[in-house]
Amino acid sequence: MVRHIMAYFLAWSTGRITRPRGLPEEFDGLDRQRNATLAVAWIEEQEARLGERGHLFVPQKGEFEQWRDDRLAIDRWVRATGRTVTSPRSGGSGSGGPVLVCYLTMDMVADASRRSAKSAVCILEWVVHMGLHGSDGDLAERDILTGWAKEARAENLLAGQVTPDDRPLGLVKELQHILWTGNSGWRDKTAGKIVTTSLRNLQAAGVPFTRGDVLGYAVAHGRSWEGIKQLAALVDEVL
């Protein structure tokens, strides 16, 4: 089970989760301080549930110092209890305990999905830090996160609602096949041909899908971001 807030802030997690108590009803997902408070309430509940200490996962450790005053609840959670701060360069999201992912990049989401499948992941996202495509990256990355949320069964932390999975069964079956062909990262010509043929067959059959449906599925299953970029190029040939 994964949770999210679809605004400037997203919180996702794997594992059974309950809505933290004491949150105001008007909590709208737009206030960064309140989002951080919600994230800390969530991860503390997960620590208690799992019996393991959580840690903070950021693109670069130095960035935590730059924005910590804007995220006081996270700052207190990390510093008051000595929580570990990790980055992709310092071993990734780790393999045990709940993870709070901040200022994410999509490779961090894939890493957290792969390493923390049996634990819990909470993701805080601000659109300015997203993007493979420059200023247009926000929508592209949000689309991938939405596809990831469908496969991960994300639940909205504010509303307590699971992300609607509107994918047709035919699409899900093709996504499973596409994932299987990507064992080498979709680099070889055979895998590329299978992917583009599968997607064109879906189009010919009138099965709706988005770029995010395809890439988000691969992210949810922990495929490397380098491989997913290869898959993205194949998807872009079709769409």
User: What would the pLDDT profile of 147-174 be if each residue is shown by its tens digit?
Assistant: 888 888 776 666 667 788 999 999 999 9
Mean pLDDT for all residues in the chain: 76
Strands 2-4 and 84-86: unpaired
pLDDT digits (tens, 9 = 90+) for 204-231: 999 999 999 999 999 888 888 889 999 9
pLDDT digits (tens, 9 = 90+) for 20-72: 444 444 444 446 677 788 788 888 888 888 888 888 888 877 766 666 666 78
Beta bridge partners of 121: 99
CA distance 104 to 214: 20
**Residue 125 three-state SS:** coil
Phi-psi region of 156 (alpha: psi -120 to 50; beta: other; left: phi over 0): beta
Consecutive H or E run containing 227: helix 225-238
Q: Where are the domains of the chain?
A: 2-156, 169-238
Q: Is 229 exposed, middle or buried (0-12, 13-18, 19+ CB in 10 A)?
A: middle
Residue with tokens 């990790």: 86
Report pTM: 0.77
Residue with tokens 């709070």: 100
Which residue type does 26 have? E
